[in-house]
């Protein structure tokens, strides 16, 4: 399969110009940029759908954006976007197309893969989810003692867990009455045990979500759930309480789940991009089908924006540029995601996987070792909690941490006082990070206290905030299913653009595969006590230590 232009981005003319431009801009503070350009908002902020984007508090000028636009042209970004949406096999190391966008193609534009029309398959699965979730909600699908299902347990990990968990948490105000979702991922039984203790098997449905249906953690938890269930009910009742979401019907069948209770998806849906597929079954059951469709609609809107908007107002592309600017030129290493919304508690964790698994690569698309920086370290917590924890380092540390501040203007509750305070903090932080606090202000503050000039002098260096810390602001009107869909798709496309420019394959994850394989090998040794000589001496000793502890009990 041919891949646009296999460019090393650092060898392009635009990259070299960006390098020179960086030397011009690096000494200019954000405040300088604001003083020079009173019209910054005209080109660094815009409304798009229900979102307002403000990128002005970043170390950017018109020239920066125009050089990035040239870089995108030199690399062939427009053609690359087409290959994504058309379903070319851009996940080359796995020989797969990358078509999560087909899952929210509600306008039903034809998509053909290997001669097969995909949209009928996508809609068939959507309707199956609709049917199932309606039956649950309306009490047509009952448990083995004819009671309604009240608890749904999604058993999955990584891409089969983080997306649905994040979305269900974010959309709590939309939960259908009488159904509570739970998410079990860790193979540590401390995760599943306490949950099983409080669940009633008569009213519990397990969704075993695994693309491969071979993942150790998921299969172990699924088996534990199954064993717990058949302690209370006979095996033939499993059909009413266990459904599977997978691409692997053989393994689903072997596990003992009737294929009628299997929801399909396909190898062209990557795990971390799969919440739009039947991996989203727990979402559909939790918020209802119509709201799930709204989620898809929001993502579809963002897809269209990404495909069709010019670069200067193309939110995912600009965010990708900003990330590359900091990562590769300012050498910032990390990117904080700071949603001022408790409902987005899992959003940064979700993005951590989406981004770091996609672009945490050091081999380029030609198979060569990469000599420049690629994927950023993504992290974050909801505000205002983070303010009382790690913001100290963002304000006064030695590292520059670009931050995305995200908030919804309207809350889902009526406690206006809480929300005004939340939003006040959200706005105040971006301003403070940019402006800092200068000596004069601090002097005057300290002057009002009853302390000597000498003490003031001694305290000053600790109290100064240099500011000049970059932030981007994303303000949506409300955290609705539709807006959440757009927000997630926004970051998905940001990741795509960055991976494309960095010249990596964003849609494989060999590091994850390695983890799966290594654990299996050591597990065999732990179970048999037969240690392999091939381990290094440190690893050998740790295994032996574990076995000696284990054998004491």
Q: Is 516 a catalytic residue?
A: yes
Q: How far apart are CA 260 and CA 246, in angstroms?
A: 12
Closest residue by Cα to residue 408 from 347, 296, 483, 472: 483
Closest-CB residue for ligand G6Q? Answer: 158
Minimum CB distance to ligand G6Q smaller for 158 or for 411: 158
Residue 211 as a binder of ligand G6Q (CB under 6 A): the answer is yes
Residue 196 as a binder of ligand G6Q (CB under 6 A): the answer is no
Minimum CB distance to ligand G6Q smaller for 270 or for 288: 270
Interface residue with ligand G6Q, options 7, 133, 204, 210 (CB under 6 A) = 210
Q: Which window, 270-278, 384-392, 434-442, 529-537, contacts ligand G6Q (CB under 6 A)?
A: 270-278
Name the catalytic one among 415, 516, 541, 545: 516
Closest residue by Cα to residue 247 from 272, 218, 268: 268
Closest residue by Cα to residue 275 from 257, 255, 298, 258: 298
Q: Which window, 50-58, 208-216, 333-341, 492-500, contacts ligand G6Q (CB under 6 A)?
A: 208-216
Q: Tokens 């970051």 identify what position?
A: 491
Q: Is 357 a catalytic residue?
A: yes
**What is the rounded end-to-end Cα distance, in angstroms, of the chain?**
56
Helix (H) or strand (E) holding 185: none
Q: How far apart are CA 504 and CA 256, in angstroms?
A: 39
Q: Using omega within 30 degrees of 0 as the cis cutoff, is the peptide bond preceding 496 cis?
A: no
- Binding letters toward ligand G6Q, positions 495-514, x by CB under 6 A: --------------x--x--
Phi, psi of 48 (to 5 degrees): -140, 115
Q: Which window, 83-91, 265-273, 397-405, 495-503, contacts ligand G6Q (CB under 6 A)?
A: 265-273
Minimum CB distance to ligand G6Q smaller for 187 or for 345: 187
* DSSP track, 484-510: HHHHHHHHHHHHHHHHHHTT--TT--H
Minimum CB distance to ligand G6Q smaller for 213 or for 325: 213
DSSP conformational letter for 277: T
Name the catalytic one among 125, 217, 357, 492: 357
- Binding letters toward ligand G6Q, positions 138-177, x by CB under 6 A: -------------------xxxx-----------------
- Shortest reach from residue 160's CB to ligand G6Q, in Å: 4
Interface residue with ligand G6Q, options 270, 323, 383, 402 (CB under 6 A) = 270
Name the catalytic one among 236, 388, 413, 527: 388
Residue 316 as a binder of ligand G6Q (CB under 6 A): the answer is no
Instruction: Give per-residue burial for 118-142: e unless 16+ CB within 10 Å, then b.
Output: bbebbeebbebbbebbeebbeeebe
- Binding letters toward ligand G6Q, positions 508-547, x by CB under 6 A: -x--x-----------------------------------
Residue 121 as a binder of ligand G6Q (CB under 6 A): the answer is no
Minimum CB distance to ligand G6Q smaller for 211 or for 301: 211
Closest residue by Cα to residue 302 from 118, 492, 473: 492
Phi, psi of 75 (to 5 degrees): -80, -20
Minimum CB distance to ligand G6Q smaller for 157 or for 295: 157
Interface residue with ligand G6Q, options 83, 88, 215, 506 (CB under 6 A) = 215
Minimum CB distance to ligand G6Q smaller for 14 or for 160: 160
Minimum CB distance to ligand G6Q smaller for 375 or for 386: 375
Largest CA distance in the chain: 82
Per the rule left: phi > 0, alpha: psi between -120 and 50, beta: everything else, 87 is left
Contacts (CB under 6 A) with ligand G6Q, residues 346-375: 357
Residue 223 as a binder of ligand G6Q (CB under 6 A): the answer is no
- Shortest reach from residue 319's CB to ligand G6Q, in Å: 21
Q: Is 388 a catalytic residue?
A: yes
Residue 136 as a binder of ligand G6Q (CB under 6 A): the answer is no
Cβ proximity of 324 and 68 under 8 Å: yes
Contacts (CB under 6 A) with ligand G6Q, residues 3-62: none
Residue 104 CB contacts under 8 Å (≥ 6 apart), including other chains: 276, 296, 297, 299, 300, 303, 485, 489
- Going by DSSP bridges, is the β-strand pair 471-478/51-54 parallel, antiparallel, or unpaired? antiparallel
Minimum CB distance to ligand G6Q smaller for 133 or for 274: 274
Q: How far apart are CA 341 and CA 170, in angstroms?
A: 9
DSSP conformational letter for 325: I
Would you give the distance in Å from CA 125 to the centre of its chain?
24
Active-site positions? 357, 388, 516
Chain residues binding ligand G6Q by CB under 6 A are 157-160, 210-212, 215, 218, 270-272, 357, 509, 512
């Amino acid at each position: 399969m041919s891949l646009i232009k296999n460019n090393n981005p650092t060898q392009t003319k635009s990259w070299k110009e960006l390098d020179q431009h960086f030397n011009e801009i690096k000494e200019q503070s954000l405040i300088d940029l604001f003083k020079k350009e009173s019209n910054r908002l005209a080109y660094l902020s815009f409304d798009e759908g229900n979102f307002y984007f403000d990128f002005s508090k970043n170390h950017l000028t018109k020239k920066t954006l125009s050089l990035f636009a040239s870089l995108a042209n030199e690399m062939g970004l427009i053609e690359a976007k087409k290959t994504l949406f058309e379903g070319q096999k851009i996940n080359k190391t796995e020989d797969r197309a990358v078509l999560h966008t087909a899952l929210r193609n509600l306008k039903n534009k034809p998509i053909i893969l290997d001669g097969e029309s995909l949209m009928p398959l996508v809609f068939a699965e959507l309707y199956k989810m609709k049917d199932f979730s309606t039956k649950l909600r309306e009490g047509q699908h009952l448990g083995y003692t004819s009671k309604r299902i009240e608890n749904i347990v999604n058993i999955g990990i990584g891409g089969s867990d983080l997306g649905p968990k994040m979305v269900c948490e974010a959309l709590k105000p939309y939960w259908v009455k009488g159904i509570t979702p739970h998410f079990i991922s860790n193979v540590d039984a401390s995760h599943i045990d306490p949950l099983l203790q409080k669940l009633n098997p008569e009213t519990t449905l397990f969704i075993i979500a695994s693309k491969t249906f071979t993942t150790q953690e998921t299969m172990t938890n699924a088996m534990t759930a199954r064993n717990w269930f058949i302690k209370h009910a006979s095996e033939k009742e499993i059909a009413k309480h266990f459904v599977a979401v997978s691409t692997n019907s053989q393994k689903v069948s072997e596990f003992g789940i009737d294929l009628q209770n299997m929801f399909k998806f396909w190898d062209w849906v990557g795990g971390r991009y799969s919440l739009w597929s039947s991996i989203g079954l727990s979402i559909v059951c939790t918020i209802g089908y119509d709201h799930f469709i709204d989620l898809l609609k929001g993502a579809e809107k963002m897809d269209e924006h990404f495909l069709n908007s010019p670069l200067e107002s193309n939110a995912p592309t600009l965010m990708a540029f900003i990330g590359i600017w900091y990562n590769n030129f300012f050498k910032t290493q990390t990117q904080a995601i700071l949603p001022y919304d408790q409902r987005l508690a899992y959003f940064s964790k979700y993005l951590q996987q989406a981004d770091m698994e996609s672009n945490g690569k050091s081999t380029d698309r030609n198979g060569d070792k990469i000599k420049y920086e690629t994927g950023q370290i993504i992290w974050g917590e909801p505000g205002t909690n983070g303010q009382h924890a790690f913001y100290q380092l963002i304000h006064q540390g030695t590292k520059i941490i670009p931050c995305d501040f995200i908030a919804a203007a309207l809350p889902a509750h009526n406690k206006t006082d809480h929300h005004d305070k939340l939003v006040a903090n959200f706005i105040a932080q971006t301003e403070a990070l940019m402006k800092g606090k200068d000596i004069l202000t601090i002097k005057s503050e300290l002057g009002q206290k009853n302390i000597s000039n000498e003490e003031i002098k001694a305290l000053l260096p600790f109290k100064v905030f240099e500011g000049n810390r970059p932030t981007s602001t994303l303000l949506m009107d409300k955290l609705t299913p539709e807006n959440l869909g757009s927000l997630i798709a926004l970051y998905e496309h940001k990741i795509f653009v960055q991976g494309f420019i960095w010249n990596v394959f964003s849609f494989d994850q060999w590091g994850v595969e390695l983890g799966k394989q290594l654990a299996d090998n050591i597990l065999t040794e732990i179970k048999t006590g037969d240690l392999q000589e091939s381990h290094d001496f440190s690893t050998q000793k740790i295994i032996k230590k574990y076995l000696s502890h284990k054998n004491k009990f």
